[in-house]
Amino acid sequence: MSKPAPLVSSRWALSQQDDWSTPFAEVLLQQLDLSPGLTILDVASGHGIPAFCLAEQVGPTGRVVGVDASRGQVASARAIQGAELPWLRFECLDMRALPATFPTFQRITGNLSVMFFRPHRYEVVRGLIEHLEPGGQLVLTFPSLGTFDSIWQRIDQEMSRSGLTTERERLATHVAERPSAEEARGWLERLEMERIAAVEWPLEVASGPGPRFLYHPLLRGGFLDDAYECFDDVRLAEEIMARVSQDMESMTPLIAQRCVLCGWKRNKG
């Protein structure tokens, strides 16, 4: 599998300070067919990666709308934008239930979006495609099944040693709930999309032992919290996770799977 090519530097280039959103956005942009004048809907737009980059590329003859359910994220994106890129706007909307009156777009993108489609991911994708114009392209990225498997295996091992049957079952449910590339491809096949691709690129994440692992800004907020939620006893959770955090050797390298899912909506007739 070829590595994603670096993007051209610009005023609104992807932030190199974001070690999580930017690597996923890079693979999104590699798959997205972009040209000036396009209309784009960016779901789960967050603080603007990659919406600002998309707006710069489509130019003033195009239009980009970023939607996110978090008012704080929308406010942050608007503050970054200021009076720039007037053909880009951010709205606080639930992408899982866009109003029927919401317009259609030539492209729909969503960086790290699929994790927010729960619990009915297929239905959300179907709803998004209803707002995609015939001949338009959908491109979504997400960490797919297999992401940080070494972490889950080590936590499961520690739970097993402690005889924690219920916690192990909960952990297994969390892990299995993450969609695979094949499952995501199946969504677009069921929706009769064309030129479908579901491609994965590994991403290695660096961390140290102890608190550096347990409070890693990426691992804790997006993943380790799932493990903590498997416990009813907070103190027990802390004991188990502390032991896990000291065994970096068995978990390294920490590998996330960047999956990019894309497809084209059939033209009418």
- The tens digit of pLDDT for each residue in 214-234 reads 999 889 877 999 999 999 999
Tokens linked to 40? 């784009």
57-83 pLDDT, tens digit per residue, is 999 999 999 999 999 999 999 999 999
For residue 40, report the phi and psi dihedrals to the nearest 5 degrees. -135, 135
Residue 55 pLDDT exceeds 70: yes
Residue 4 pLDDT exceeds 70: no
12-40 pLDDT, tens digit per residue, is 877 776 788 999 999 999 999 999 999 99
Q: Looking at residue 269, what is its pLDDT?
A: 63
Q: Looking at residue 115, what is its pLDDT?
A: 87
Dist. CA 94–CA 236, nearest whole Å: 36
The amino acid that residue 251 corresponds to is M
Domains, the chain, ordered by start: 21-143 (3.40.50.150), 149-174+206-251 (no CATH)
| Average pLDDT score over the chain | 93
For residue 108, report the phi and psi dihedrals to the nearest 5 degrees. -125, 125
Q: Looking at residue 208, what is its pLDDT?
A: 96
What is the arithmetic mean of pLDDT over 132-149?
A: 97
Its pTM stands at 0.90
